[in-house]
Structure 1
Amino acid sequence: MSSERIAGRVGPEIKALLDSRKSLFLASTTEEGTPYASYAPFAIDNECFYVLLSEIAVHAINLQLNPFASVLVVEDEDSADQLFARLRVSYQVQAKLIDNNDNAWQAGIDVLANRHGELITNLSQLGDFKLFRLEPQSGRFVKGFGRAFSFTGAGLLGEEIAHMRDGHKKREESAQA
């Protein structure tokens, strides 16, 4: 099946998942290379995630030191049919810090405020809050067992999307001596 047909099939499902969640999990690395997991409320515009983070938060420090990170948006476990096969989409992203003097700053704040309300406007007026644009580079969408798709290239669906067919394999029985 062509990449376009696959995207046409799973694209609406990915969009629905992203629309249904208000926060994402964010994995970044410290200056020493230690992984750090956190979360942040997000909004989407122009195929990118926007997050507003305090500069004292570990993930904000990490993104400024190393802009490569991973994002996960996952179905709520209470509503999942199967805990081990929750609907989820993950992305490898490159973080861009947006200067508050840049026109993109207000556009990003507006997108976040439209989704999360007046608190965003208030936080954006505090000097320690930084706006990051998380630009997807590649990703993976998992619908359940044996139903996973990978995508490469920029954007929420990438430029190429493929069904991952090299899935689970049975464990070989050990030879008894």
Structure 2
Amino acid sequence: MKKSNKLFFLLFYNPQILFILTYKEIFMQLHDEINQFIRECKSIMISSLNLNNQTICSYTPIIKNKNDFYIYISEIAEHFEGVNYNNKNIEIMFIEDEKDCISIFARKRLKFRVESVEITRDNQLFEQVLNTYENEDNKEIIQVIKNMQDFHLFQLILKNGRYVKGFGKAYEINEGTINLINSKGHKYSR
């Protein structure tokens, strides 16, 4: 009986402590869930603007090296112009496979605004990143395209983002914080 009295005392006199602990646990759970989701994705959707300010949406394999993200794309790729010349106006999205989702209307997805920075071939990081990627079951293809001069390596610098894990479960990601998006909810007709 004393334990429940202590809990009541904590709730009654210190409700903020309980909320902070609960929020911290939820934040850590979401953080781990997001990182696991990223690890599972081998490619991303990428949206950018070409030189004529036209929107280009495509996909590309994603290279993860430590805590950084890279793409290795050809000048022939439709999204190359946007990534190279309009490098501050890009969005990427990790998205759950259709066959794995509970509902097609609520696929798990994570998107970020990013800035791209080219890593030139004379930079040590170029070899390091491609070697890391080559060791992840991509050896044959990387050995072929590694020396193709029309391919460029870009680091994607993450800005703000949004993680949606289902109906009513959307979170804003900004400077390392994750916040539930407060909304008025959906409107229904009668």
Give the TM-score normalised by structure 1: 0.86
Distance 1:167 1:99, change over 3 A: farther
Distance 1:100 1:7, change over 3 A: farther
2:182 is the counterpart of 1:161: no
**Matched ranges for 1:60-71 at <5 A:** 60-68=80-88, 69-71=90-92
Which residue matches 2:151? Answer: 129
2:96 is the counterpart of 1:75: yes
Shift of 1:62: 1.6
- As a proportion of its length, which structure holds more helix? 2
Equivalent AA in structure 1 for residue 149 of structure 2: G
2:25 is the counterpart of 1:25: no
Shift of 1:168: 2.7
Query: Paired residues, what number?
Result: 168
Shift of 1:19: 1.5
Give the TM-score normalised by structure 2: 0.81
Which one has more relative contact order, counting CA pairs under 8 Å at least 6 apart? 1
User: Which runs of 5 or more structure 1 residues have no equivalent in the other structure?
Assistant: 154-158
Which residue matches 2:138? Answer: 117
Shift of 1:46: 4.0
Which residue matches 1:156? Answer: none
* Bigger CA radius of gyration: 2
Which residue matches 2:71? Answer: 51
Moved over 3 A (4+): 1-7
- As a proportion of its length, which structure holds more strand? 1
Shift of 1:59: 1.1
2:117 is the counterpart of 1:96: yes
Shift of 1:167: 5.2
Residues in 1 aligned to 2:39 and 2:82: alpha-carbon distance in whole angstroms? 27
Shift of 1:35: 0.6
Shift of 1:112: 2.1
Distance 1:126 1:53, change over 3 A: same
Equivalent AA in structure 1 for residue 113 of structure 2: Q
Shift of 1:116: 4.4
Kindly indicate whether the alpha-carbon contact (under 8 Å) linking 1:51 and 1:133 is maintained by their aligned counterparts in 2. yes
Kindly indicate whether the alpha-carbon contact (under 8 Å) linking 1:6 and 1:161 is maintained by their aligned counterparts in 2. no
Residues in 2 aligned to 1:72 and 1:133: alpha-carbon distance in whole angstroms? 15
Shift of 1:6: 4.1
